Amino acid sequence: MSPEQIDWVIDAYTRGIVADEQMSALAMAILLNGMNRAEIARWTAAMIASGERMNFDSLSRPTADKHSTGGVGDKITLPLAPLVAACGAAVPQLSGRGLGHTGGTLDKLESIPGWRALLSNEEMLNVLDTTGAVICAAGDGLAPADKKLYALRDVTGTVEAIPLIASSIMSKKIAEGTGSLVLDVKVGSGAFMKNIEDARELASTMVALGTDSGVKTIALLTDMSTPLGLTAGNALEVRESVEVLAGGGPADVVELTIALAQEMLTAAGIKDADPAKALADGSAMDVWRRMISAQGGDPDAALPVAREQHVVTASASGVLTRLDAYAVGVGAWRLGAGRARKEDPVQAGAGIELHAKPGDTVTAGQPLMTLHTDTPEKFDYALASLEGCYDVAPAGTAFTANPIVLDRIA
């Protein structure tokens, strides 16, 4: 496609001149045939041009943002944004909601009483200026072409087209106005990219788009074969994130949070900060409390707890060698933590709490996971998704976990 053709079709579709049926045919052609780098770059630029662009030049510190392609138990944004802010960068984090088996950052934070996801541009800039970090929903004026095209892709079987994934993510992030961007591209059963070759292609495409637009962009490929941390669900993940900010929390969540923080700070030109120290000394927690309060939330309020629980026990004794992220994600979704359609409500307290991870020794009959929901009739539906989701090998079996960071692309 020529640059002029791309500009025309994105503008015409946004204004309703090109019908959904016509655009869905083009989206399918892109899925089947791909696009070259110049086409993807122009497609992304046209989607950016369909709306407004934000500007953070008035801030006294450099900006750095992070985007995850989505996973199970992926609560990293919650401790990461205040951590990076505590180390000297400003973090304008525009986030989304969950759909299907992947959780959404805004759904998680909305389990905090009073917290608001919807901010005007002026409110967003004020929170960012006063606290150093803001996590909120993207406004309607930011890349409206992408919002319309995303909804179409969702119902036409074209979500998985790498050019369309990359341009969707990067059009919003470039229009957001951040100076640097770190991408967390998930790989494995619980991710949209199931194998590392597809993940590497997606990451390389997004890094190129960011670089071509003047945004310093780095991507980490990270493992999503096993859930991150010990929780999958909205309030459950907020609780775990607060544990990380308090200097505790699961080792894998802490490791990835610090790795991404270091990349964000380096990309922003801040080279002498120590994210691990900012977690240990409470400065990241201080930013979290200010950020939550600035958006109407009460950081001291009790988080919602589901009314019903069901415990799943280990079927054998030995070493837990596999715990499938996708199955756990679907289980949490079916319990009420996620949604099948964008307009569906979610339960704040629903989800799955894990009591063991691969590499741990388990005993037959011990609790392996606890299911949480307000609607106990959902237990059977969730348990069906968890059937066969884990393996237990004989005691003494050697186990080597996948590294969390699989590759780096810059």
Q: Are 113 and 131 in contact (CB under 8 A)?
A: no
Query: From the candidates 75, 172, 173, 289, which is the catalytic residue?
Result: 172
Predicted local distance difference test score (pLDDT) of residue 154: 78
Query: From the candidates 67, 108, 186, 334, which is the catalytic residue?
Result: 67
Between 305 and 344, residue with greater pLDDT = 305
Question: Order of strands across the sheet with 64-68?
Answer: 64-68, 180-187, 216-223, 405-409
Catalytic site includes residue 290: no
Catalytic site includes residue 172: yes
**Considering only CA atoms, which of 200, 235, 273 is closest in space to residue 109?**
235
Predicted local distance difference test score (pLDDT) of residue 235: 98
114 Ramachandran zone, left/alpha/beta (phi>0; psi -120 to 50): left
Does residue 139 carry a pLDDT above 90?
A: no
Query: Quick one: pLDDT band at residue 192, thresholds 50, 70, 90?
Result: confident
Q: Are 150 and 50 in contact (CB under 8 A)?
A: no
The domains found in the chain, sorted by start residue, are: 64-138+176-294 (3.40.1030.10), 308-393 (3.90.1170.30)
Query: Quick one: pLDDT band at residue 190, thresholds 50, 70, 90?
Result: very high
Predicted local distance difference test score (pLDDT) of residue 163: 95
Does residue 342 carry a pLDDT above 90?
A: no
Does residue 394 carry a pLDDT above 80?
A: yes
Predicted local distance difference test score (pLDDT) of residue 80: 98
Predicted local distance difference test score (pLDDT) of residue 60: 93
Query: Quick one: pLDDT band at residue 159, thresholds 50, 70, 90?
Result: confident
**Considering only CA atoms, which of 247, 109, 88 is closest in space to residue 180?**
88
Catalytic site includes residue 146: yes
Query: From the candidates 50, 168, 189, 225, which is the catalytic residue?
Result: 168
* Angle in degrees, 0-180, between the axes of helices 20-33 and 162-176, rounded to the nearest 10: 110
Query: From the candidates 153, 186, 289, 378, which is the catalytic residue?
Result: 153
Predicted local distance difference test score (pLDDT) of residue 182: 98
Query: Quick one: pLDDT band at residue 321, thresholds 50, 70, 90?
Result: very high
> What whole-number percentage of the chain has pLDDT above 90?
90
Predicted local distance difference test score (pLDDT) of residue 330: 96
Q: What is the pLDDT of residues 42-94, one digit of tens each?
A: 999 999 999 999 999 999 999 999 999 999 999 999 999 999 999 999 999 99
The residues with which 409 forms a beta bridge, in sequence order, are: 219
Q: What is the pLDDT of residues 21-49, one digit of tens each?
A: 999 999 999 999 999 999 999 999 999 99
